[in-house]
């Protein structure tokens, strides 16, 4: 029988409970914290649930590129069910100092990087006569990038290279996102942390778990399931709210990001929409919450 190493066991536990930082207490999945307690992008699962609900650890954005309806902090009034968008700002062009074939690190002279700002992200490099490099980033200092694989070539200052941060490095609400109203930003999870550890609403700079998989309550925009038969797909709108496709033949939202499918819920007078599908079994009511089976990241 194979004997697993301590490192292998740690990786298994981290994938279930999250990669907690040394010397800090556990953080509940429904509580935000002003203090970082887990590695950004860390995964946490709920194995006891039938659908194995999952979360990722992130930070609520501290910048406000374009303003928006929720103000510069932007999270207190939308404490549950809103989609959050990745705020992934690329590094810009890198000046390579050392990047040797077979190495796992790249040293640069510019720009100066914020420590671990790109952990969990991606390095891309191209130089004439060398293979294209696209490798994951484990960590970074101000000038050294540690990769999750070996460099396939040797690159110089002539290389075209940049870093992209991981999707959970920082997340923002609609209106605070980098594109107009969040229309071009990817939704990476649903905000379901109604309070911080002091009993207050979450605010910019707080660290929290955002749900990425399994049964989840979302903030709906527009219509509720049951208005038309066969309505199941759920799309993420630029306002951070979920929306069903209005009809099977309606292509209006097919270009939007699909985040999962509608789950069974209740219609009028306790009727179950799943038992009475179509317009006769539910009411197409506006601005109601959806129960969604999320399928963003397992």
pLDDT value of residue 240: 84
Quick one: pLDDT band at residue 81, thresholds 50, 70, 90?
Answer: confident
7 falls within a domain: no
Number of neighbours of residue 96 by Cβ within 10 angstroms: 21
pLDDT value of residue 68: 44
3 falls within a domain: no
The tens digit of pLDDT for each residue in 28-68 reads 999 999 999 999 999 999 876 666 899 999 999 876 544 44
291 falls within a domain: no
Q: What is the mean pLDDT of residues 91-98?
A: 96
Judge if 120 and 158 occupy the same domain.
Answer: yes
Window from 11-20, 23-32, 69-78, 133-142 with minimum mean pLDDT: 69-78
229 falls within a domain: no
153 is in which domain, residue-wise? 95-164
DSSP string for 106-170: EEEEESPPPTTTTTTSEEEEE-TTS--EEEEEEEE-SSEEEESS--SS-B-TTSEEEEE--TTS-
Q: What is the mean pLDDT of residues 103-121?
A: 95
Window from 14-18, 95-99, 118-122, 149-153 with minimum mean pLDDT: 14-18
225 falls within a domain: no
Q: Is the bond preceding 111 in cis, omega lying within 30 degrees of 0?
A: yes
157 falls within a domain: yes
- Global pTM value: 0.83
Number of domains in the chain: 2
Judge if 130 and 156 occupy the same domain.
Answer: yes
The tens digit of pLDDT for each residue in 237-288 reads 888 888 876 665 666 677 789 999 877 654 444 444 444 444 444 444 444 5
Task: Provide the phi-psi class of 185: left if phi over 0, else alpha when psi is between -120 and 50, else beta.
Answer: beta
221 falls within a domain: no
């Amino acid at each position: 029988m194979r004997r697993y190493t301590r490192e292998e066991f740690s990786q298994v536990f981290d994938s279930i409970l999250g990669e907690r930082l040394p010397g800090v207490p556990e953080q509940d999945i429904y509580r935000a914290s002003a203090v970082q307690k887990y590695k950004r992008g860390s995964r946490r699962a709920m194995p006891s649930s039938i659908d194995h609900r999952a979360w990722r650890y992130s930070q609520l954005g501290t910048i406000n590129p374009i303003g928006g309806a929720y103000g510069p902090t932007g999270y207190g009034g939308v404490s549950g069910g809103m989609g959050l968008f990745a705020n992934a700002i690329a590094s810009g062009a890198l000046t390579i100092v050392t990047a040797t074939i077979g190495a796992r690190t790249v040293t640069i002279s510019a720009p100066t990087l914020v420590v671990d700002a790109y952990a969990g992200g991606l390095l891309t490099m191209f130089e004439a006569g060398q293979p294209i490099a696209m490798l994951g980033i484990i960590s970074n200092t101000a000038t050294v990038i540690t990769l999750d694989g070996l460099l396939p070539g040797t690159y110089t200052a002539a290389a075209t290279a940049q870093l992209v941060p991981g999707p959970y490095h920082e997340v923002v609400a609609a209106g605070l996102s980098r594109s107009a109203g969040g229309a071009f930003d990817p939704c990476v999870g649903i905000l379901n942390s109604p309070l911080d550890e002091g009993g207050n609403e979450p605010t910019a700079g707080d660290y929290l778990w955002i749900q990425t998989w399994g049964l989840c309550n979302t903030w709906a925009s527009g219509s509720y399931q049951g208005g038309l038969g066969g309505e199941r797909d759920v799309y993420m709108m630029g306002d951070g709210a979920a929306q069903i496709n209005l009809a099977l033949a309606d292509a209006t939202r097919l270009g939007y990001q699909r985040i999962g499918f509608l789950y069974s819920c209740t219609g009028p007078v306790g009727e179950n929409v799943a038992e009475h599908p179509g317009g006769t079994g539910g009411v197409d009511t506006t601005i109601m919450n959806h129960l969604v089976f999320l399928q963003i990241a397992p």
